[in-house]
Amino acid sequence: MHNPRLHKSFAFHLLNSPTRLSILGFALLIATGTALLMLPASSVNAPLGFIDALFMSTSASCVTGLSIMDIGTGLSHFGQLVLLSLIQVGGLGILTISTLLLMMMKGRPTLSGQAIIKDTFTYGEGKQTVSSVLKAIFITAFSIEAVGALVLYLRTAPQAGWHQAGYPAVFHAISAFCNAGFSLYADSFAGFREDWVVNGVLSLLIIIGGIGFVVIADVKSRFLSRNRKIARLSLHSRLALTASGILILLGTLAILFMEWDNTLAPLSIPGRVLAALFQSVSARTAGFNTLNMGHMANETLFMLCIFMFIGACPGSCGGGVKTTTVAGLMIQGLSRMRGLSHPRIFKRTLTEASISKATSVVMVSMAVITVAIMALMMSELGGLSHAQTRGRFLELFFEVISAFGTVGLSTGVTGTLSPMGRITIVILMFIGRLGPMVIGLAVSRERISRFHYAEENIMIG
């Protein structure tokens, strides 16, 4: 028997949760993109099948960049615009979309939902309203993308033509800022690998899009505000910027060392430095490449897997477990090794809740990746011996980490995946973009414990 009250209660419970609403919003976005990409008008040749359209829509919506086709020649102008729209909407973030929908329905998130929103878009004791945060995000994103597109246009127009350079400039500026990694060029940006302007603009767009809106706002308020009484950045911003800078530097040096006589060999010395720097910036979440990933050394690919797993900063367009998550765990470990009871950095002590949350994110992420790589090996290598599949494990492992971190780099196996393998990657991109912890919060009920059991230590290590 139909119960309207029960139905209304269920709908209210669903729509009043930012996490559940985020999942629903992204699912609807992917479904819409899939339907549009299946249209004959979206393809140059035969229309895309359901699985291929689903894969491309998910990759664009989750700003991953993995592609089973050359979008510059395989998709029509309409299809490319569909892809670009999915990238832009997906890049603005999970909670941005869910909060906007809540505002449109004139609803209010629960206390836990407000905490999640504050954790992602504000810091400290900030009193920003949801509407002001949304306005700042949209203005910041569109302004940065516009400047990036203009510089790319002015740089490429003399060679490509003043009428033809505009569209690629806009497409790649949005793709870079949203950390999507989709390119209209078949070889990504290999043709520009010694162009300092193009590489520099793309790198800046990737970095700004990957450090998070809260860090951008913090930097702006500290250095552009007339109020000089504010002396320093918040702990989150300092930790995010420091971790990002260290990762970019370490990645550049590692790629130079491991690829000097390999993929970097054909380039000039300044070109090698530029290519290593760009690949280090892009590897953590953007997915552009100027070097041939399939020809890289095994140790380089494994290092890039670590970088892709770490990803960008919280509240940004990028994926991964996030820089501050890993930084918090490393600070905790170093503090313990020094005999300190609490983790500290920049004359501040990290809260126990932050460390506990970081541990949970990493553990859940590792579990998801483990299941995914097992599923992909069964779908792609099932029934074959190790001797028949040498080298394939690293390629599939690289693909899984790239999908989970919503990076988009590939050694070239994406287009060869079976239908079941593509479905596995689709699920992984969806989970990686929303975050394992968001998925967990969305499907679980909040429970307030009325009592606690007695504590007891266990042996560790």
pLDDT at res. 449:
62
Residue 94 has what pLDDT?
57
Distance separating alpha carbons of residues 98 and 103, to the nearest angstrom: 9
Question: What pLDDT does residue 107 have?
Answer: 46
417-427 pLDDT per residue, tens: 899 999 999 99
d(CA 142, CA 352): 37
With b meaning 16 or more CB within 10 Å and e meaning fewer, what string describes 200-239? Answer: ebbbbbbbbbbbbbbbbbbeeebeeeeeeeeeebbbbbbb
Q: Give mean pLDDT, residues 383-389.
A: 76
Answer yes or no: are the C-beta atoms of 14 and 107 closer than 8 Å.
no
Give tens-digit pLDDT for 200-233. 999 999 999 888 777 887 787 777 665 555 557 7
How many residues can be counted in the chain? 461
| Greatest CA separation for the chain | 75
3-state secondary structure of 189: coil
Question: Interhelix angle for 166-177 vs 130-160, to 10°?
Answer: 140
More confident residue, 388 or 17: 388
Q: Which of 160-164, 303-307, 440-444 has the highest mean pLDDT?
A: 303-307
Percent of the chain exceeding pLDDT 70 equals 82
Query: What's the mean per-residue pLDDT of the chain?
Result: 81
How much is the pLDDT for 188?
A: 87
pLDDT at 382: 79
Report pLDDT digits (tens) over 51-105: 999 999 999 998 888 899 889 888 999 999 999 999 998 887 655 654 454 444 4
**DSSP per-residue letters across 282-293:** HHTTT---SS-G
| Residue found by looking up tokens 């090698």 in the block | 272
Q: Which residues pair with 349 in a beta bridge?
A: 344
